[in-house]
Amino acid sequence: MTVELRAVEPSDLPVFFEQQSDRGAAAMVGLPSRDREAFDAHWARILADRTTLIRTVLEDGAVAGNVLSFIRDDVREVGYWLGRSFWGRGIATAALEGFLRIETRRPLHAGVARGNGGSVRVLEKCGFVVTDGDGELLDLILV
């Protein structure tokens, strides 16, 4: 398995759209799937935001998902999304480890749905620690 990160290309967006359309995956992370119009508007904002750092995750050349850091409520957060067919193989951990070598600003925060134990494990393997939780979300931080 070879995991690489590269700049997002326009041809990645249809893959990202299909991945986020997986309602089971969306429920696991606590985010609603977007229709095409809302998805396109969301990604236009992400790609235009100079404070956001984002990379496409490739596994053996295939678009597996994306990883990014962004500012919300004056806090830098990290997030990632992989298509379901890429789960459970260490790809998320490898991608986040690689991303953390590019994104060197600290602290980094992450919010994870309480039921998403796989994502908590990925973040903990990359040095994040659980700090608290608010409702349905656990808060993690990397200092």
- Cα–Cα distance, 19 to 28 (Å, whole number): 13
Asked whether the predicted pLDDT for residue 115 surpasses 90, the reply is: no
Residue 33 and residue 58: Cα distance in Å, rounded? 22
When pLDDT is averaged across residues 15-32 and rounded to a whole number, the result is 92
The pLDDT score that the predictor gives to residue 135 is 80
Q: Where are the domains of the chain?
A: 3-106
Would you give the DSSP letter of residue 2? -
Of the chain, the end-to-end C-alpha distance in Å amounts to: 29
What value does the mean pLDDT take over residues 119-131? 97
Has domain 3-106 been given CATH number 3.40.1190.20? no
The amino acid occupying position 35 is D
What pLDDT, on a 0 to 100 scale, did the predictor assign at position 30? 84
pLDDT digits (tens, 9 = 90+) for 29-62: 888 999 999 999 999 999 999 999 999 999 999 9
Distance of alpha carbon 85 from its chain centroid, rounded?
A: 15
pLDDT for 132 beyond 90? no
Reply yes or no on whether the pLDDT at 134 is more than 80.
no
Average pLDDT value for residue range 76-103: 97
